[in-house]
Copies of this chain bind each other. A is one copy, B any other.
Amino acid sequence: MPNAFETPQDAEDAFYDAFEEGNIEAMMTAWAARDDIICIQPMRRQAIGRQGVREAWEEVFSSGARLAVEVHHQHWSESGDCAIHIVLEQLTLNGDASNRPPPILATNLYRNYGDGWLLVLHHASPPPPPPGMVQGMPPQAGIQVPVMPQR
């Protein structure tokens, strides 16, 4: 069972340290020991529960790529036993600064169930496109929904 953390930020540090290390056991210590934890990686369906979340990260880590993650906080709020961090994640792959995908926008939700803070939700999604980029939604819709990249 994971030991809870003193602050939401401590849980977040454990999460991103494990992400960078590609360490699945360390990753799982950041998450609450609950069947209702949720992880949504960019352009993926939700992974639910400890086993689902573990498998999602095992798949990420299975490539063996060396990932560095710069975390840029966009917004924090904490109220009662619930803390929300909105972050931009800037990945660097295999130490190659020229190979940096667009930053990922993520919501991290932490709860304190009485003995400290743990991650319960990570929803990561593609970032806004660069200014001036046209997105793939009928213009009358008013909502911008990207089309899938055509490959």
Interface residues of A (CB under 8 A from B): 36, 38, 40-46, 48, 59-65, 67, 74-75, 77, 79-82, 84, 86, 91, 93-94, 99, 101-102, 104-105, 107, 109, 111, 113, 120-121, 123, 125-130, 133-151
Contacts and interface: CB of A to CB of B under 8 A. Distances in A.
Given A59-B142, A142-B62, A107 B38 contact: yes
Given A93-B138, A107-B107, A141-B63, A43 B146 contact: yes
- Does more than half of chain A's interface fall in helix, strand or loop, or is it mixed? loop
Contacts of A79: 36, 111, 113
A79 B94 CA distance: 40
Residue in A43, A86, A144 with the greatest tally of chain B CB atoms within 10 Å: A43
A111 B4 CA distance: 22
A84 B37 CA distance: 10
Given A65-B142, A107-B38, A125 B126 contact: yes
